[in-house]
Amino acid sequence: MKERSEFAVVNHSVPRGDGIAKVTGSAVYTSDMAVEHMAWAKVLRSPFARARILSIDISQAKSQPGLIDVLTGGDLKGLSPYYGHGVRDHPLIAIGQVRFVGEPVAAVIAEDELTAQEALGKIVVEYEELDAILDVDTALAQGTPRIHETDFADGAFRGFDDFPGAAGNICQAVHVAWGDVDAAFAVAAHIAEGEFYFPMVYAYAMEPYVAIADYDAKGQLTVYSSAQHPFMVRHDLAQVFGLPLNSVRVIVPYVGGGYGSKSYTKIEPLVAACSWKAGRPVKLQLSVEEAFLTTRGDDARVRIRTAADAKGQLVARQATIHLNTGAYAENSPMVCRKAANRIVGPYRIPNVKIDCFAVYTNTVPASSYRGLGGAQVTFPGESQIDELAEKSGCDSVEFRLKNLAQSRESIHPGMRPIDADLPGDVREAARMLRMDRPLAPGRGRAVCCSASDAGAHPVTLAMVQIYADGSVSVLSGSTEIGQGSHTVLAQIAAEEMGVPLEKVRLVGSDTAVTLFERSTGASRTTTLMGRAVLEACREAIAQCKVMAAEVLGVPAEALVEERGGIRSGETRLTWSEILEKYFQMEGCSIIGRAYLRKAGDLKLVPVFWEIGVVGVEIALDEETGRITLESLVTIGDVGLAINPAMTEGQDLGAATMGLGAGLFEELIYDGQQLMNGTMLEYRVPRFSDLANNVEMKLVQNRDGVGPYGAKGGGEGAVNPISPCIANALHQATGVRMRTLPLTPERVWKALQEKKARAST
């Protein structure tokens, strides 16, 4: 057995380049020639939510000095211009009609960005405006026209198989059921029911979307992108252009945040088509305002009822969830699936009936958002847990403890049992929040929890290269989006190979160099890619043992593995010495590989349950309706924190995002127009919004399937924050809020309505 060292805790400060010049952390560098010949693209966007395109006049734009070309939907003959990993419904540029305000109608390619911008103003588009379908009720109403008149095929990476095809304006329908819900409600002692609304939100990564494409004369396409899922983007690009996978290369440098908003394909097909038409490398860099018009999170209306018996045991939950998916499917089919699963919560509920629908509307396409459907449904679910606790005459924490699933207990038939100590996590959060303390007037406290089926489909491949000088390269298809995965994966390799961390280099997110990785999302990277790196190191070590046995002339089973090498009797060889003696030449290396798939201990899904446990204390100013966060506690049940500092940062970051949706964030439409899609008007949490008292605890029971018992983290704390605040507000005022965000105006109006009712 090897002796294990403590994991090193390091922070990487990596300079980021602009465009395609020197991609830090990648083995590949582009030539100065490509940069010198790079053109710029700017996009003309639709002013209408739903309209036919009658004509596009580019004649005046063609006279613009410095213009190279213009791309419109009429130029795509010979391509397969629709993409989508879940549903192939998204044209790379509008073809014949537009379906949301902001949809690309034409792309101008010019020598520089300013020239491209000036040329946009010279394009004249004639539209026939159609009645826009802007909300779920209108979309589902009888007689409403279909937003998509064509039935589209399902994409290659849906993640589940039950694609029914579009029915009317329903993009996806998911049904989850067990037991007898009607019978359970008929005999229940306590029932909570109501309608809840979770707002339309934007993930607001620091870096807007950017991509550079080079479609060369030999039919080789290279794309530099801010994508979270380079292999999914490669697949879509290959399909659009009819290319084999080895002719499409996607390279992702360090990315300035994603939070789901950079999942899957976004602007890459459009940029690649611009390069294909112009015959040279093209860069498209969106502004923040344009990013708002590219993707968002699904807003959700949830009609839900939950029942308990006279002893305070949950007996049933029924819900109908309508997700506003926007104009194109993006990842909303999977959000639909996850919302249907996650609304059950981390509780044992014997009777369940959930119907979830993703619905097309003429708004910005919705897609992944941190927590993937969890925040939308944890708000109503945890609100009703508090309602039932009150109806049962039970303390809210004790009510949860009575109903939470225990470790190794199943909450979804056929899925992996819970792999966390949920009751222990909730008890600890209540202790940290000091729930037994008396409350001052105008204050409230609450603890809420969630469990998300995380990890996505467990297909992950990795390589490590062991060099004769003792250095190591890790080749990983996971994208570094600020979560610190490159550091953690390097730590795992350093631990396994017994080398200093500074001797490990991470080569990441280059589809021509690294092996396939399903995605960077679903909190999977440490669990799955980390495990793949660990297994690849162990395969490399096995190769070294065979080599050492030949060098020493002893059976391989007689060798004893030690940290950084092997021993045979009194003879010890490091990995470096083994390679040099075996090859009898300097500079050689070997490769260790690992291929993870849905088999063995990864056969049951989810790969792990991501736990969210959060506690808050709030103070309310009744004169203004303003809620102030006084205390925040988070519990990160992560199995093992390989890098504790980064793990805590991820948990706090997730809670902060949840705070935004709970108190501030909401994309607001006035008719067809998005009214607050700017940096000034879309309110995200500031440092001043965080509580003065913040406590975080990492629970490390080593109960995950990842390396050394690790599980993923970084999304769980998003989900329980908004119901925590709403429940604390109810404790402070007796007002039950069912619509987010809890803005001062909304809270103040609710308080006035309560006073008016009390006076009548």
State both tokens at 80: 């397969």
The CA dihedral of 248, 252, 257, 259, to the nearest 10 degrees, is 40
Query: Residue 354: beta bridge partners?
Result: 176, 319
Residues 440 and 580 in one domain: no
Residue 92 has pLDDT above 50, yes or no: yes
Q: What is the pLDDT of residues 379-410, one digit of tens each?
A: 999 999 999 999 999 999 999 999 999 999 99
Residue 501 has pLDDT above 50, yes or no: yes
- For the ranges 30-34, 204-208, 740-744, the lowest mean pLDDT is seen at 30-34
Residues 76 and 213 in one domain: yes
Residues 468 and 583 in one domain: yes
Give the SS3 label for residue 231.
Answer: helix
Is 352 part of a structural domain of the chain?
A: no
- Quote the pLDDT of residue 26: 30
Residues 399 and 477 in one domain: no
- Quote the pLDDT of residue 152: 74
Residues 587 and 644 in one domain: no
Domain with residue 117: its CATH number is 3.90.1170.50
Residues 274 and 383 in one domain: no
Contact 346, 450 (CB under 8 A): yes
Is 195 part of a structural domain of the chain?
A: no
Q: What is the pLDDT of residues 639-693, one digit of tens each?
A: 999 999 999 999 999 999 999 999 999 999 999 999 999 989 999 999 999 998 9
Residues 510 and 658 in one domain: no
Residues 423 and 494 in one domain: no
Is 19 part of a structural domain of the chain?
A: no
Whole-Å CA distances, 185 to 179, 352, 381, 677: 12, 11, 16, 43
Q: Which domain holds residue 393?
A: 374-454+606-759
The 3-class secondary structure across 298-337, one letter per residue, is: CEEEEEEEEEECCCCCEEEEEEEEEEEEECCCCCHHHHHH
Contact 634, 496 (CB under 8 A): no
CA-nearest of 325, 330, 275 to 82 is 330
Hey, CA dihedral for 243, 104, 98, 231, is it positive or negative? positive
Q: What is the pLDDT of residues 137-168, one digit of tens each?
A: 999 999 999 999 887 777 766 555 555 555 78
- Quote the pLDDT of residue 42: 97
Residue 450 has pLDDT above 50, yes or no: yes
Where does a domain end: 597, 615, 637? Answer: 597
Is 519 part of a structural domain of the chain?
A: yes
Is 30 part of a structural domain of the chain?
A: no
Residues 643 and 698 in one domain: yes
Query: Each residue of 563-601: b (16+ CB within 10 Å) or e?
Result: ebbbebeeeebbbbbbbbebeeeeeebbebebebeeeee
Is 199 part of a structural domain of the chain?
A: no
Is 177 part of a structural domain of the chain?
A: no
- Quote the pLDDT of residue 159: 57
- Quote the pLDDT of residue 151: 76
CA-nearest of 131, 119, 145, 133 to 59 is 119
Contact 494, 8 (CB under 8 A): yes
Question: What gap in Å lies between CA 504 and CA 293, rounded to an integer?
Answer: 40
The total domain count for the chain is 3
Is 659 part of a structural domain of the chain?
A: yes
Domain with residue 503: its CATH number is 3.30.365.10
Q: What is the pLDDT of residues 7-21, one digit of tens each?
A: 333 322 222 233 322
Q: Give the residue-averaged pLDDT of 366-373.
A: 94
Residue 28 has pLDDT above 50, yes or no: no
Residue 456 has pLDDT above 60, yes or no: yes
Judge if the upstream peptide bond of residue 606 is cis by omega within 30 degrees of 0.
Answer: yes
The pTM assigned to this predicted structure is 0.93
Residues 466 and 612 in one domain: no
- Quote the pLDDT of residue 162: 58
Judge if the upstream peptide bond of residue 380 is cis by omega within 30 degrees of 0.
Answer: no
Q: What is the pLDDT of residues 168-202, one digit of tens each?
A: 899 999 999 999 999 999 999 999 999 999 999 99
Neighbours of 364 (CB within 10 A): 27
Diameter over CA atoms, the chain: 96
Residues found in the chain: 760
- Quote the pLDDT of residue 679: 87
Where does a domain end: 269, 292, 315? Answer: 292
Question: What gap in Å lies between CA 196 and CA 744, rounded to an integer?
Answer: 18
Residues 566 and 659 in one domain: no
Identify residue 733 by its one-letter amino acid code.
T
Residue 481 has pLDDT above 60, yes or no: yes
Mean pLDDT of the chain: 92
Where does a domain end: 571, 597, 623? Answer: 597
Q: Give the residue-averaged pLDDT of 575-594.
A: 95
Residues 540 and 639 in one domain: no
**Rounded percentage of the chain residues whose pLDDT exceeds 70:** 94
Query: 59 — phi, psi (to 5°)?
Result: -60, -40
The 3-class secondary structure across 715-731, one letter per residue, is: CCCHHHHHHHHHHHHHH
Query: 630 — phi, psi (to 5°)?
Result: -90, -40
Question: What gap in Å lies between CA 52 and CA 55, rounded to an integer?
Answer: 9
The CA dihedral of 131, 135, 137, 142, to the nearest 10 degrees, is 30
The residue with tokens 């303003």 is 626
Tell me the pLDDT band of 36, cut-offs 50, 70 and 90: low
- Quote the pLDDT of residue 35: 58
Query: Residue 236: beta bridge partners?
Result: none
Q: What is the pLDDT of residues 103-131, one digit of tens each?
A: 999 999 999 999 999 999 999 999 999 99
Question: What gap in Å lies between CA 662 and CA 264, rounded to an integer?
Answer: 27
